[in-house]
């Protein structure tokens, strides 16, 4: 294990961020923890921090490689509450039922076809947030996810950070467990070889006639909206350079 991660693990011992969990998650945390808020949940294909108040992720981190683009398993569509979270601190199936919102994946199921376990875990509700369906979850958001897989095939290893944004003083909620409805969603994509980033913020609304490049923003913009700190294990000068820039176009 990298020495820096041992330090993080020791500092976080006694919290939800204890060393064994950090050790299991290390491949996704190579460039740092976006924050230490919430409960750390390690999965085969991603790691996330779960907000027990909002019943949604704070952030989800993936490390995608060309080897993980293989299609070994089919999409499961078996949505279930997260078995590692206690009732009352997690979303349940009934929260989404009749809400008008999709159970929007943060780490996409289509990224998990390389492993049956990874696919199953991607359908835990801890990896979801309420998302508008037509024109968003089943529209522009799906298009962004597909484009990122194309970049993985072309570029190689990429680190992807995804999550909700809540930009309102009164957050809308659904279901008996009061699952919070995001106003926006973000994605940050980092290419560690080229040392480049591209980032997106998409309002949680239908976007039937808009193009992906209209949603490009900077990593710094997302950090200011969320209070997160991405790529904090990169040297400060390089981090500032790649986080403050806005990609001129899609990769």
156: CB partners within 8 A, 6+ apart? 65, 66, 193
Rg (CA), the chain: 17
Give pLDDT, residue 21: 58
Do residues 58 and 49 touch, judged by C-beta distance below 8 A? yes
What does the block give as tokens for 51?
Answer: 């907000």
> Which residue of the set 2, 50, 105, 207 is catalytic?
105
Q: How high is the mean pLDDT in each 10-residue block of the chain (251 residues)?
A: 33 40 82 94 97 98 97 95 97 98 98 97 98 97 98 98 94 98 98 98 96 98 98 96 96 97
145-150: long-range pairs with CB below 8 Å, 24+: 145/108, 145/110, 145/111, 146/110, 147/212, 147/250, 148/64, 148/187, 148/189, 149/64, 149/69, 149/110, 149/111
**Containing H/E element for 23?**
helix 19-24
Give pLDDT, residue 22: 61
Ordered by where they begin, the domains of the chain are 3-244 (3.40.570.10)
Distance from chain centroid for Cα 23: 19
104-109: long-range pairs with CB below 8 Å, 24+: 104/128, 104/129, 104/130, 104/131, 104/136, 104/137, 104/141, 104/185, 106/48, 106/57, 106/60, 106/162, 106/163, 106/164, 107/43, 107/45, 107/46, 107/48, 107/60, 107/62, 107/162, 108/145, 109/75, 109/76
Give pLDDT, residue 141: 98
Could you confirm whether 105 is annotated as catalytic?
A: yes
> How many other C-beta atoms are found inside a 10 Å radius of the C-beta of residue 142?
15
Give pLDDT, residue 16: 43
What's the CA gap between 145 and 142, in Å, rounded? Answer: 5
Give pLDDT, residue 25: 86
Give pLDDT, residue 155: 98
Q: Is 105 helix (H, G, I), strand (E, B) or coil?
A: strand
Give pLDDT, residue 1: 33
């Amino acid at each position: 294990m990298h020495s820096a991660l041992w330090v993080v693990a020791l500092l976080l011992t006694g919290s939800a961020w204890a060393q064994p969990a950090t050790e299991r998650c290390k491949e996704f945390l190579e460039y740092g923890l976006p924050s230490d808020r919430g409960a750390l949940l390690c999965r085969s294909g991603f790691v996330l921090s779960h907000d027990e108040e909002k019943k949604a992720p704070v952030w989800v981190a993936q490390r995608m490689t060309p080897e993980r683009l293989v299609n070994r398993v089919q999409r499961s569509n078996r949505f279930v509450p997260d078995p590692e979270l206690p009732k009352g601190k997690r979303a349940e199936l009934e929260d989404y039922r009749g809400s008008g919102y999709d159970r929007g994946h943060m780490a996409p199921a289509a990224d998990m076809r390389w492993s049956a376990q990874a696919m199953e875990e991607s359908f835990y509700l801890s990896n979801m947030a309420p998302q508008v369906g037509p024109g968003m979850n089943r529209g522009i958001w799906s298009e962004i996810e597909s484009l990122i897989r194309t970049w993985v095939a072309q570029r190689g290893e990429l680190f992807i950070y995804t999550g909700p944004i809540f930009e309102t003083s009164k957050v809308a909620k659904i279901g008996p467990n009061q699952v919070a409805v995001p106003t926006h969603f973000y994605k940050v994509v980092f290419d560690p070889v080229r040392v480049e980033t591209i980032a997106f913020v998409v309002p949680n609304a239908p976007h039937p006639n808009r193009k992906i490049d209209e949603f490009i923003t900077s990593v710094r913009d997302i950090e200011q909206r969320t209070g997160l700190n991405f790529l904090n294990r990169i040297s400060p000068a390089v981090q500032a350079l790649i986080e403050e820039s806005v990609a001129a176009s899609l990769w």
